Amino acid sequence: MWDNPRLTRRLDLLTSSVEREGNRAELLIDGVSAFPRRYENSADAELILVKTFIFYEDEAGHAIAKLLSERAQAGAEVWFQYDQKGSIRGPEDVQNMLTLADDERLLGELPLVRKMRKAGVHIIASNPVRRAKGIARWGEFVDSWSEARGGDPKVRILPRFDHEKYWITLNPLPDGDRELRVILGGLNIASEYAYGGTPQRDAGTGRRGWRDTDIELRGPVTNDVVSRYLDLIEIHTSERLAPGERGRLNPTQGVKGDAKARFVWNHPILGNKRRIERLYNELIDATPDGAPIKIGTAYFAPGRRITRPLYRAARDGGALTVITNSTESVDMWFVTSASRHEFRRLSRINPDLGLYEWLPQPEQGWFTYHSKQAAFGSCGPVIVGSANLDAQSSEHNSESVVAVRDAQLRADFDQMFAADLRDGRVARVDPAELGHVGPIERIKELTIYTFMWYWLDGGARGPGFGGGGRL
């Protein structure tokens, strides 16, 4: 079924991607496993390519900056891309940046970023704030958003973000070969990501760990990921890499395992929207009637390209299970209302669906559910990446995912997903409760869902025609 040539051709065409054979893939569950693997892979790497949406000057940020600086000073080539807007926590960060303004960077940069630059790390600040007034306003915006998390009645339009996350290393092997290792998924560089799955708390910010998922890849698919990273260097610097640089930085990789992997990315500002939505659409449609579909996402407010096949699966008796955040765990308060709106629609079609909301467990390092993952059928592909199922990810953000077909990875995914459904981590949403919600709350939910799809899509087509926040 999943080797169907017609499905493969459709995925190739609709997602502008190719499925690569001969890969090795491993889930990295929470920061407790994902961050140590970053350190391990970097220890002897001759090349390190990092991209993150969030880079905070907290305990985890300082530790990563120290690692990258030390590797650069030891002779490794280190590149660091970070979304500047995503890495500003408030007015204090803005003031710290402005104190480091110079002729090259008129609005400065974070002190920790400056330290890495001085240590020899190649720094690329994507999505920068370009005016002094703009950077001050952005700092105030982020600060007020944080403070109003529990109930600010205003819904703000978020800008475009560079939301992809990569940790790529090129490591020498004993036989003289060089191996690319790619980690991608949901984890940014901040203590809430690093401390996921642990009882640790950042002494400065007080933040606890979050539930999140990365995947490590080795093999031919890594060349596709590195090619994307190098494209982003050229996009953000407006300079072409020197002839021969791509071959040096992205050596062709041989067979590393049995996994088949497809790397898919969106970059709406370049006109490449909804490839990831199309991937979900095709895989949901390809799932046999009655077979399981498992989705975990921080923000669940999908557009029609995903809801239409989900509705069909629900009508046909599909075993759909969705995990997303509750009002207690979510960091973007209004998204839960949009999720509830979609849950109600699904429950009307099939009240037996498994629709769950995450319950905060800060002592275990699982305060917020930040994973972006899915699996299809009883033995079908697994998706892991940076993209949420909402308008922000489809319409505004650059995003990436990998779809992997591998028996061991699928078994590991099913075990991980089952663990998230037990031990008091989630609460099942009661269809009867959804049905008893009053008209005012329903109007609020519909309004927010419509806002997310109409306004974030530029108002061109109305709600529901495309495919999240902090993304």
pLDDT along the chain (471 residues), means of 10: 95 98 99 99 99 97 99 99 87 78 76 96 85 52 47 47 96 97 98 98 97 99 99 93 94 98 94 92 96 97 92 91 95 80 91 96 97 98 97 90 99 98 92 76 71 48 32 50
pLDDT of residue 135: 52
CA–chain centroid gap for 130, Å, is 25
Q: For the chain, how many helices (H) and strands (E)? A: 16, 15
Report which of 130, 106, 85 is spatially closest to residue 398, judged by C-alpha positions: 85
Q: Which two tokens stand for residue 402?
A: 């990998």
* Distance from C-alpha of 162 to C-alpha of 144, rounded to nearest angstrom: 22
Q: Which residues pair with 385 in a beta bridge?
A: 401
pLDDT of residue 439: 79
Domains detected in the chain: 22-249 (3.30.870.10), 260-454 (3.30.870.10)
Residue type at 50?
Answer: V
* CA dihedral sign, ordered 371, 376, 380, 381: negative
pLDDT of residue 443: 74
pLDDT of residue 146: 47
* Distance from C-alpha of 165 to C-alpha of 183, rounded to nearest angstrom: 8
Tell me whether residue 336 is exposed, middle or buried, using C-beta atoms within 10 angstroms of its C-beta: 0 to 12, 13 to 18, 19 or more.
Answer: buried
Per the rule left: phi > 0, alpha: psi between -120 and 50, beta: everything else, 383 is beta
Report which of 126, 118, 122 is spatially closest to residue 48, judged by C-alpha positions: 122
- The 3-state DSSP class for residue 404 equals strand
What HEC string does 73-112 produce? HCCCEEEEEEECHHHCCCHHHHHHHHCCCCCCCCCCCCHH
Using an 8 Å Cβ cutoff, are 427 and 414 in contact?
A: no
To which residue do tokens 């990295």 refer? 28
* Distance from C-alpha of 409 to C-alpha of 358, rounded to nearest angstrom: 24
* Distance from C-alpha of 134 to C-alpha of 139, rounded to nearest angstrom: 9
Report which of 407, 391, 381 is spatially closest to residue 280, judged by C-alpha positions: 381
pLDDT of residue 130: 58
Q: Which two tokens stand for residue 256?
A: 């590393």
DSSP 45-82: -SEEEEEES-B-SSHHHHHHHHHHHHHHHTT-EEEEEE
pLDDT of residue 359: 97
* Distance from C-alpha of 188 to C-alpha of 172, rounded to nearest angstrom: 26
CA–chain centroid gap for 198, Å, is 21
